[in-house]
Amino acid sequence: MKAAIIGAGTVGRSIGEGIKNDFEVSFSSGSFEKLEKWSKGEFKVFDNNVENAKYGDVILLAIKPGISDSVMEEIRSAAKGKLVISFMAGITLSHMQEMLKDSMVARGMPSIPMLVQKSVTAYSYKNLDKEHKDVLEKVLKGFGSAVHIDESYMDAVTGLSGSGPAFVAIMADSMINAGILAGIPKIQARELVIDTFINTMSLMREKGLSASDLRDEVMTPGGTTVAGIYEMEKANARTAIANAVLGSYRRAKEISKNSRD
């Protein structure tokens, strides 16, 4: 099956790398010369979006929301009867359907770990039969895990798992710096923090623990962990993290609203 990716930025390239073993992948983007140089013959490349859309059995839009209407209008005829998957923030399924008329539409919100095929991608769709649902899931699972959600939650997902890696990175950076301040060499502090994040989340998943259950497992009366948590509570760390997610969510809602106006 052929997958035509329109857009060759970070998202588009990561998708292509993730699905290349299961699909014949093609690309088109704003600069054919740069695209050809990057591809090095590994992917089929087109110098225009229409020919790329004609080539693909499924079309993936990895472009900026600001040019979405012009691209969807451009490929409308070529996309007729095909599944079109959007990876654009704020562009609703209804708007895609309005622009693409006779196409089947879906949208996904990936996260930056897609660079190493470890994204968690929330997705929604409209009126897909089983065959096309299977194609959609096969695409999404090529670069990580996939979670089906109602589209009404997509802006919240953007704030949570879409922006979430940046919030996790800030927490990790703070812990690394604290380790260095406490005398641990930087390289070892970095490794300790990275593995602490990865292994803690693995424990939660594999044992089915809630976050509060895991915290209670570590925390003992009068111990070191409760002393650290006390400092976090004094600094309102929970509120700051929650507000970061909610701030991203509100911004995503603004983008969605502007795309409909």
Tens digit of each residue's pLDDT (9 = 90 or more) over 101-148: 999 999 999 999 999 999 999 999 988 999 999 999 999 999 999 999
Interstrand relation of 24-28 and 58-61 (parallel, antiparallel or unpaired): unpaired
Q: Is residue 158 part of a domain?
A: no
- Does residue 138 have a known ligand-binding role? no
- Does residue 199 have a known ligand-binding role? no
Percent of the chain with pLDDT over 70: 99
pLDDT tens-digit map of 27-48: 998 888 888 888 888 999 999 9
Q: Is there a single domain that holds both residue 79 and residue 147?
A: yes
CATH of the domain at 248: 1.10.3730.10
- Does residue 63 have a known ligand-binding role? yes
Q: Is there a single domain that holds both residue 175 and residue 250?
A: yes
- Does residue 62 have a known ligand-binding role? yes
Q: Is there a single domain that holds both residue 15 and residue 111?
A: yes
Q: Are 140 and 160 in contact (CB under 8 A)?
A: no
Q: Is there a single domain that holds both residue 139 and residue 170?
A: no
* CA 145/CA 76 separation, integer angstroms: 29
- Does residue 248 have a known ligand-binding role? no
Q: Are 121 and 154 in contact (CB under 8 A)?
A: no
Q: Is there a single domain that holds both residue 120 and residue 177?
A: no
Q: Is residue 261 part of a domain?
A: no
- Does residue 243 have a known ligand-binding role? no
Residue 247: is its pLDDT beyond 70? yes
Average of per-residue pLDDT values in the chain:
94
Q: Is there a single domain that holds both residue 189 and residue 89?
A: no
* CA 136/CA 108 separation, integer angstroms: 10
Residue in this structure with the two tokens 């699905």, named with its chain if needed: 19
User: 68-80 burial, b if ≥16 CB within 10 A, otherwise e?
Assistant: beebbebbbebbe
Q: Is residue 39 part of a domain?
A: yes
Write down the pLDDT at residue 255: 77
Residue in this structure with the two tokens 């990057």, named with its chain if needed: 38
Q: Is residue 157 part of a domain?
A: no
Residue 259: is its pLDDT beyond 70? no
Write down the pLDDT at residue 41: 85
Write down the pLDDT at residue 252: 85
Interstrand relation of 104-109 and 119-126 (parallel, antiparallel or unpaired): antiparallel
Q: Is there a single domain that holds both residue 36 and residue 103?
A: yes
Write down the pLDDT at residue 230: 96
pLDDT tens-digit map of 158-190: 999 999 999 999 999 999 999 999 999 999 999
Considering 96, 128, 151, which residue would you say is the last residue of a domain? 151
Write down the pLDDT at residue 149: 96
Q: Is there a single domain that holds both residue 195 and residue 221?
A: yes
Residue 253: is its pLDDT beyond 80? yes
The residue-averaged pLDDT of 179-206 equals 97
Q: Is residue 156 part of a domain?
A: no
Write down the pLDDT at residue 260: 61
| Number of domains making up the chain | 2
Full domain range(s) for residue 83: 2-151
Write down the pLDDT at residue 65: 86
Percent of the chain with pLDDT over 90: 85
Contacts of 252 (CB under 8 A, 6+ apart): 89, 90, 154, 155, 156, 158, 159, 162
- pTM for the predicted model, two decimal places: 0.87
